[in-house]
Structure 1
Amino acid sequence: MAIDDGTSVTTKLLTLLNVSATKIGKRKRPIEEFVPAGKLNKRKSISFSETVSIKTLEPDHQDQEEEEKEDETAAVETPEREEEEATIQNTEDHYENHFGPSSAVVSEQGRLAVDQNSWTTFKETVGKLGPAVVAVPNIPQATTSKVLADIDVLPKVNAPLKKRQSRMNRNQVELQNDVLSALCSRKDLYLSSAPVESRQATRQAIALHALNHISKKRRRVLKNNERIAHSTKSKPDAPPPEDVQDQGFTRPSILILLPFRNSALDWFHAITSHTPSPEFQIENNSRFLAEYDLPAGVVDRLASADPGTYPFDHVETFKGNVDDNFRMGIKMTRKTVKPFTEFYGCDLIIASPLGLRRSIEKEKNADYLSSIEIMVVDQMDALTMQNWEHVKFVLSHLNKLPKESHDTDFSRIKPWYLDGLAPYLRQTVLLSAFETPETRALYNNELKNVAGKVRTEKRWQPVQIPAGIDPNFVHFDCTSPQDEADRRFNYFTSQVLPTVMKSAVQSTNTVIFVPSSFDFIQVHNHFRKSPGVTFTVLSEYSSNADISRARLSFFKGEKNFLLISERFHFYKRYKIRGIRNLIFYGLPDHPQYFSEFLSYPFLDDGVEPSDVTCRAMFSKYDWFRLERVAGTEAALELVKSQ
């Protein structure tokens, strides 16, 4: 959020303070009375007496009482804790420099450069993450900023991972350490070509970073609670310490956006895998498994199928519970993980963009997203196959000034929150199997971290296709991305389709693959208005009965054309028989789909490569797709030749 001046922010904050003080049944506190927060954005007030006793105002809130007891225990100095404090003394800097009350990275110059989209970029190889483009705000002191930093993870938090890494292969260990090192620099990180095979290792490293962030934040709050309590006990009339700003407007500081419940299950396991101490407990675990795993007795046809029956990436994406409407708050205490905590009392939110959007629209409030300090968007390639508008909607509600006070102790809020600078410090982690214009636009336009941002790069090799098939890449001119859809449709209807219809061979057994849902509707309507053309369709909205009829009628030759959307293939991954001619209205986002469809004609007996034709339409705005299908070098030649 760019701030031109402090007037609007000050007005809003004064309004919040007034609302907090004038709620019905709530009296204004005298100016000299100071009531510190007993825990991070605690929903109820806490009073410290001379004996430092803690009293919960609502005795039926058992979880609050238990957390207070844990916090009291954690606040007691022990030799073990003193030793740990000394151990981490030299590794606390990265967190404090970035997210501390006096952040060392946020500056007026840096914010101005970010607002003007003025970045200094350079290329660097980031360990196992490979080649990357690093961007830092265009100010002198940031031009030499390094990507990899010292791993500043609390020893107790890091111990389970170290133990697990002793049993892992070297490449995975190095990958996890490099991911952690890049995250500890507090830069935004965009893994633009994260393979499915490394998904688990990467997830564990990011989950550790998130848990470490929550732990450090809680330690800071507890330490400041001790100081306030000690100050109040020793000098009751003395003013409280001034440097105790350690919170945001609301408690949640981590947001993880995911496409399906099976992904949430994996992330929850990754988070809890870093806290396996004997006294550690996971509450509501049976309820969590009931809602996010498959019901008892249900057999997962993907996970139980013979290897090779379904493509590996399809199995990894769709095994388990694939509901895309969910949201859950998780509270982390010293000894427990508590899923299904209400949002204003949790530390971490795991949700799908659809689930979070429905929650925001229902409550007409997104204040619980006002203090997100780390956001993770995983499997962006799957999210683009859903509704990308949901992702954009959630991002538009991040780090806004809250509408209500939510019993916040404003004396404990970090100054840069009050100044509206949270978007410039939020760390964003993006994970995708490949890039699309939508994901690149998110990286370019929504990431404002003044510490900088890192985007990995990959040189793609051509996809493997059956020997003897020579795809014809058909270029059409387009000078503006706004006109691209219309230009593509006009070229298809005026050039490609008439040529196909003139050929008796190419006008039968023809599949037309359409990546975009908007384009699919446009092409479908054109075929409906074309007299004498027999066709059938397979889209993400087709029922099982519709799918069976369409596949059978096309295979028997009763329908000459079969229109297929990429989303249908993404969700179903059916093998289509009866294909002799392929028209790619646009190249698929998933490069493996190109090779899969070119292999389907050979499911039928007696088919030779010479019997198969393939046309693939593209414009210069199809660069990402073209690069993945044809390979980086060939794609450059194709674009230059036009």
Structure 2
Amino acid sequence: MNDTTTRLLTLLNVSATKAGKRKWTAADEFPSEKLNKRSKSARFATDEEPEVSAVAEVTVDTAEDTVPAEEEADDEGGSDVYESHFGRTPALLSESSRAAVDRHAWTTSRRTSGKLGAVVELVPEGLQPGPPSDTAILERLRTPFRKRQAKQPRDETELQNDLLSALSTNRDVYLPSTAWEHKKSFRETISLHAINHITKKRRRVLKNNERLTKADSTGSPPEDVQDQGFTRPSVLILLPFRSSALDWFTALTSHTPAPAFQIENQSRFLAEYGLSPGMVDKLATAEPGTYSRDHVETFKGNVDDNFRVGVKLTRKSVKMFSEFYGCDIIMASPLGLRRSIEKEKSADYLSSIEVLVVDQLEALTMQNWEHVKFVLSHLNKLPKDSHNADFSRIKPWYLDGHAEYLRQSILMSAIETPETRSLFNSSLKNVAGKLRVEKRWSPVQVPEGIDQNLVHFDCSNPKDEADKRFNYFTTQLLPLVLKSAVQSSNTAVFIPSSFDFIRVQNYFKKQSGVTFAVLSEYSTNQEISRARQAFFNGKKAFILISERFHFYKRYKIRGIRNLIFYGPPEHPQFYTELLSCPFLDEGVEAGDVTCRVVYSKYDWFRLERIAGTEGAVELIKAA
């Protein structure tokens, strides 16, 4: 007997001993006349819950007991794609497809996907990718969306439609170079896809409730009513900041407009996820050009990174701050979810996630990537408790522990990093396949006339890369700099990795006669002011800058004449911004500035964004 079977039998036994507790289908807009007579369950305590009673939370609008007659045809026309992937017997889920995914045996092909551009398709060996479906979106949602599209530029509409086509295949979709001007459109498109998924799931449950109610009179209940997971939440949206959650709230509610929909607890959500009364957003009110667009878009609004909120959707309402076991969508930061999981010692509400959305991966990598990995490691695991689930209604593939092979993951980032590519390559197991958008980069623009010296060091094993880089910097590059009368002062060392930053800082501390200042993400405002002033006045010959410091602060550092990039920056605009700093001082010519970039073949993603795709290829070949 394997571990999955043992845990499942334990859950069944626990469920059988909890007589009198209601089943998940019995409330929260999934009622039937028979099932709704069960008693109400205890609520799950979270910091984000509204102060209302359990009775108020499970009050049911009887108008939602059935699918309206006018929507029946719409439902039948749009459910085939959903049923083929997330239904009782998924078409692509088999022992051979799961085995292919587990051994990373993917068939890879490349093509152009409309406005999305060049894409790489990966499908498990032996399978063919499913075609997009025009009936994937229910007409009830599709019609108002098309009306809004008619008012926007044609290119934007085509981009949204191409993304919808990719999502309709239920494959994982990775958008690693999402431009800021497309963020809003992508959020609206993906939120439409998520709401469509939840609506189809709800309709299937309601129809089966009706079938079970009718079968009571005949005494022969149907056996094909498996339509649920262990718990209700089916969509998880991971985000870096509360302001990001506010953007996604706007996208979600764009498909559920008033007066047709009632948005409950909207005022509370806007108050907690927006800026407090009297606060001024300095980034939003600054003069154009003061801060780069990516900095403004990332850090405007409420940038608290500890949050989680449940969203429940019904046919006529959106309920914010629903408790996790009674909601359809969880919007959270990785930190917020991790703290919740560790506090409750349970992540059962993540056991039945069918659509995962991770947005602003570039910001999440600058926070703490371990939080992201922690949350993803708890997805689609067998729950520790039954949570009043009706096991006769749970889909067989959930009981078999195969949910991770059907979960659709949608990843968005402004840039691609080794961490995000590894997540796409290794952690996503969707048997429907995966799609990754490719981009060819052009060289970044820097002040004309600066001599850029890209210095390569040899490394044949990625595990040795950090040590090899440190050894090259300390034994070859830095000694040359210290011997130069010009380069041994007014020198900034930019260090992408926090681990490398601490290592280099400790090395400088041991060097007698070398003065330096430090700017890290942990520096206080007073420390930052002192470091900048000392470096500008020449009291400190070197200044060490971490990439996370620049990501969060974007200070312009005066006094720089020599720049050493310990590694190419993750964000290409940082390269341009830092090379522009010397010209803040009067009388500086391009010939007065030196620039060295240390790189290895494992810096491909960073190098490509600075030198351009073709330039990076040549640099790697020449190394």
Give 2:252's aligned residue: 271
Note the 1:119-518 alignment, pairs <5 A: 119-139=106-126, 141-142=127-128, 145=129, 148-150=132-134, 152-232=136-216, 234-235=217-218, 238-518=219-499
Is the alpha carbon distance of 1:477 and 1:174 closer, same or farther for their aligned partners in structure 2, counting shifts above 3 Å?
same
Tell me the secondary structure at the aligned position of residue 37 of structure 1.
helix
- How far the C-alpha of 1:619 sits from its partner, in A, is 0.3
Give 1:12's aligned residue: 7
- In 2, the alpha carbon distance for the partners of 1:133 and 1:392 equals 24
Is the alpha carbon distance of 1:495 and 1:231 closer, same or farther for their aligned partners in structure 2, counting shifts above 3 Å?
same
* TM-score w.r.t. length of structure 1: 0.93
After TM superposition, the runs of 4+ consecutive aligned structure 1 residues lying more than 6 A away are: none
- In 2, the alpha carbon distance for the partners of 1:527 and 1:35 equals 63
Q: Are 2:45 and 1:61 equivalent residues in the alignment?
A: no
Give 2:569's aligned residue: 588
Q: Is the 8 A contact 1:580 1:601 kept in 2?
A: yes
Q: Is the 8 A contact 1:75 1:223 kept in 2?
A: no
Amino acid at match of 1:114: V
- In 2, the alpha carbon distance for the partners of 1:618 and 1:10 equals 49
- How far the C-alpha of 1:62 sits from its partner, in A, is 4.0
- How far the C-alpha of 1:472 sits from its partner, in A, is 0.3
More displaced stretch, 9-18 vs 609-618: 9-18
Residues 405-434 of structure 1, C-alpha deviation per residue, up to 9 Å, x if partnerless?
A: 000000000011011110100000000111
Is the alpha carbon distance of 1:40 and 1:452 closer, same or farther for their aligned partners in structure 2, counting shifts above 3 Å?
farther
Give 2:26's aligned residue: 38
Structure 1: segments with no counterpart, 5+ residues:
1-5, 29-33
- In 2, the alpha carbon distance for the partners of 1:253 and 1:576 equals 47
More displaced stretch, 449-458 vs 269-278: 269-278
- How far the C-alpha of 1:65 sits from its partner, in A, is 4.7
Residues 477-521 of structure 1, C-alpha deviation per residue, up to 9 Å, x if partnerless?
A: 111111100100000000000000000100110000000000000
- In 2, the alpha carbon distance for the partners of 1:194 and 1:47 equals 44
Note the 1:605-616 alignment, pairs <5 A: 605-616=586-597
Give 1:74's aligned residue: 64
Is the alpha carbon distance of 1:147 and 1:556 closer, same or farther for their aligned partners in structure 2, counting shifts above 3 Å?
farther
Is the alpha carbon distance of 1:133 and 1:447 closer, same or farther for their aligned partners in structure 2, counting shifts above 3 Å?
same
Residues 187-216 of structure 1, C-alpha deviation per residue, up to 9 Å, x if partnerless?
A: 000001111111010010000100111111
- In 1, the alpha carbon distance for the partners of 2:605 and 2:597 equals 14
Residues 586-611 of structure 1, C-alpha deviation per residue, up to 9 Å, x if partnerless?
A: 00000011111111111111111110
Amino acid at match of 2:64: A
Give 1:31's aligned residue: none
Is the alpha carbon distance of 1:497 and 1:231 closer, same or farther for their aligned partners in structure 2, counting shifts above 3 Å?
same
Give 1:3's aligned residue: none
Q: Is the 8 A contact 2:357 2:409 kept in 1?
A: yes
Give 2:46's aligned residue: none
- In 2, the alpha carbon distance for the partners of 1:627 and 1:138 equals 30
Residues 564-606 of structure 1, C-alpha deviation per residue, up to 9 Å, x if partnerless?
A: 0000000001111111000000000000111111111111111
Q: Is the 8 A contact 2:246 2:274 kept in 1?
A: yes
Is the alpha carbon distance of 1:47 and 1:173 closer, same or farther for their aligned partners in structure 2, counting shifts above 3 Å?
closer
- How far the C-alpha of 1:152 sits from its partner, in A, is 1.4
Identity of aligned residues (%): 64
Is the alpha carbon distance of 1:47 and 1:314 closer, same or farther for their aligned partners in structure 2, counting shifts above 3 Å?
closer
* TM-score w.r.t. length of structure 2: 0.95
Amino acid at match of 2:122: A
Note the 1:44-55 alignment, pairs <5 A: 48=33, 54=37
- In 2, the alpha carbon distance for the partners of 1:53 and 1:513 equals 62
- In 2, the alpha carbon distance for the partners of 1:632 and 1:35 equals 55
Residues 267-286 of structure 1, C-alpha deviation per residue, up to 9 Å, x if partnerless?
A: 01110110014141111112
Give 1:111's aligned residue: 98
Aligned residues: CA RMSD: 1.9
- How far the C-alpha of 1:89 sits from its partner, in A, is 2.5
Q: Is the 8 A contact 1:36 1:228 kept in 2?
A: no
- How far the C-alpha of 1:74 sits from its partner, in A, is 2.9
Is the alpha carbon distance of 1:393 and 1:162 closer, same or farther for their aligned partners in structure 2, counting shifts above 3 Å?
same
Q: Are 2:25 and 1:21 equivalent residues in the alignment?
A: no
- How far the C-alpha of 1:53 sits from its partner, in A, is 7.0
Amino acid at match of 1:122: S
- In 1, the alpha carbon distance for the partners of 2:131 and 2:474 equals 49
- In 2, the alpha carbon distance for the partners of 1:114 and 1:499 equals 50
Is the alpha carbon distance of 1:517 and 1:65 closer, same or farther for their aligned partners in structure 2, counting shifts above 3 Å?
closer
Picking from 530, 539, 544, the partner of 1:563 is: 544
Residues 230-285 of structure 1, C-alpha deviation per residue, up to 9 Å, x if partnerless?
A: 111x22xx132111111000000000000111000100111011001414111111
More displaced stretch, 111-120 vs 82-91: 82-91
Q: Are 2:579 and 1:598 equivalent residues in the alignment?
A: yes
Amino acid at match of 2:108: T
Q: Is the 8 A contact 2:130 2:432 kept in 1?
A: no
Structure 2: segments with no counterpart, 5+ residues:
43-52
- How far the C-alpha of 1:340 sits from its partner, in A, is 1.2
Tell me the secondary structure at the aligned position of residue 132 of structure 1.
strand
- In 2, the alpha carbon distance for the partners of 1:461 and 1:216 equals 43
Is the alpha carbon distance of 1:258 and 1:463 closer, same or farther for their aligned partners in structure 2, counting shifts above 3 Å?
same
